[in-house]
A and B are shown apart, each in its own frame.
Chain A
């Protein structure tokens, strides 16, 4: 997957690049809108991550131009403006998603994965996990032919852990993903643990769940 990151804040751009490379994306960077459009004219990209607050051109105009040059790419808008209007206009202009700054890199990857599933129909829909099969599209977990009934939040939690498998996710990261801005600031509370306990209990009734690990003092991870 080829990604173009158009972001004038270089330090931020390097962090995003480093993260995406680790997640096996090929990442190009442009620090100005003009450079970005130039690169879009030459190379085909699967993803364009576009900062709206670029110094040389209006971000929404850049989006329009970029869509003409590279209509097949998936566009994710990154912005610190956080205006609801920006978001609506951005999505109207054909952006696939919108991430307000500051964003979590894990969240960015999760959004990119979701777009991949939706837009490119890539990524196998059904992911095996131990004795279980997880269908991200239909949002179902099954064991052999039995569908296991998880709540919406339990499923979100499981799929987020699965997406970032082999990586420890902290309770804070998990709750931020699930509750967004409504995540409670009281991180030491145990509601993530309650959800994990429920997931283990529900899945444990059918098979082994040792792949879902508790990392003491840190959080949880799925080992695969």
Chain B
């Protein structure tokens, strides 16, 4: 999940949780507030009554009666005074039911005992709390609406702000990480941000990429120079052997030895050639401005390699659309790439096996070619490394494979942004799928 989605989700959920908590506790809050207020109100009433009693005596209320009771028109409040035994002390506020004129009502009741010259009296002041209960529900509802509205509003603000805040990260990912192709040739431009974390991340990435680029450059330079320097002594040796072989007095025995030397030297030459080729490809010394019909290209490769098919008695089936034109490519390099793949398919095939080449155009405009062989297959643990230099799937004793054929394939594919995937079953065969991106295809 993307960081911004996670943040938004978290903010939303936390806000919702808090609002829910608030809405649920709201009735208790209201009740508490209302009770406090009622209690305060009742105490005020009590004070008033006591003031009246102190000023005018308790008879003002009793008017000769034993006790006094009065309530307002809608029975919202009532007051009662009644004599109690001497020494009775009560001073409390509580909630209780009272029956007034056949109505049972919940009241908040304040009781207070006080002493006058006429004796001890107990005063009760009550205020109904039914009205408070009536408010609870609508209040809760309104609070919910208001708060949800507020959440929505803050969420929109949060979303815009986090988006703004995370924009540098997004840019780092877009320019430095995704779409980045080794060997990072182009210079990286630092992104603009005032967030120090992003600044640090960006700087680290740039310096890392520079280091990789430098190391790669060195390796590439070394390969090119070393290979180049090796060519001259190889050439001298080769020519010396050739001259020696042309001497009439050379015996058959020496002749045979010379051939052995020539073979070894040739092997060396091929390795150096391959390394030079790879380094030239990585140096981007080949133009990619040619175009060629896929069918023609495959036919040319097959023509070049047909003797190997005959020799191993391998049958070939080739279904390549004649409409597909590969453009912005280097023809020689693609030829070499396909040649190497087909050559491998022959070399690691069974006698009288088959090779099947088929293509398809994908809906997104890319173009795939499958190269299916009935060969010995590649063990699963080796598939990841077959394109590495000096690795070979089949460690044959003759030392014929140098493991550079597939490295060349990989370099050429990378150079053209072609991807190659491998699917293999031991002793069943291997399928190499060459995927040309849409921009190389004109059909």
Contact = CB atoms under 8 A, between A and B. Distances in A.
Partners in one complex: yes
Interface of A: 9, 11-12, 15-16, 18-19, 22, 80-85, 101-106, 153, 167-168, 170, 172-173, 176, 179, 181-182, 184-191, 194-195, 217-219
Nearest to A10: B236
B398 interface: yes
Contacts of B307: 153, 191, 194-195
A172 B263 contact: yes
A7 to B, nearest CB: 10
A167 B286 CA distance: 39
A177 B99 CA distance: 123
B304 interface: yes
Give chain B's interface secondary structure class: helix
A27 B249 CA distance: 24
Contacts of B245: 168, 170
B259 A80 contact: no
A212 to B, nearest CB: 19
A182 B308 contact: no
Interface residues of B, number: 42
Contact of B239 (A81, A105, A176, A217): A105
Contacts of B259: 170, 172, 217-219
B270 A185 contact: yes
Instruction: Enumerate the 7 nearest inter-chain pairs by beta-carbon distance, A residue then B residue, closest first.
Output: A102-B235, A15-B239, A191-B307, A80-B231, A186-B400, A105-B242, A191-B311
A184 B343 CA distance: 9
Contacts of A176: 266
Interface string B242-272: 1101100000100110010011001101100
Contacts of A186: 347, 398, 400
A103 B235 contact: yes
Contacts of B347: 186
A167 B258 CA distance: 14
21 contacts: A15-B236, A15-B239, A19-B246, A22-B243, A22-B246, A82-B276, A83-B285, A101-B231, A104-B238, A104-B242, A105-B239, A105-B242, A170-B259, A170-B262, A179-B304, A182-B304, A186-B347, A186-B400, A188-B398, A194-B311, A217-B252
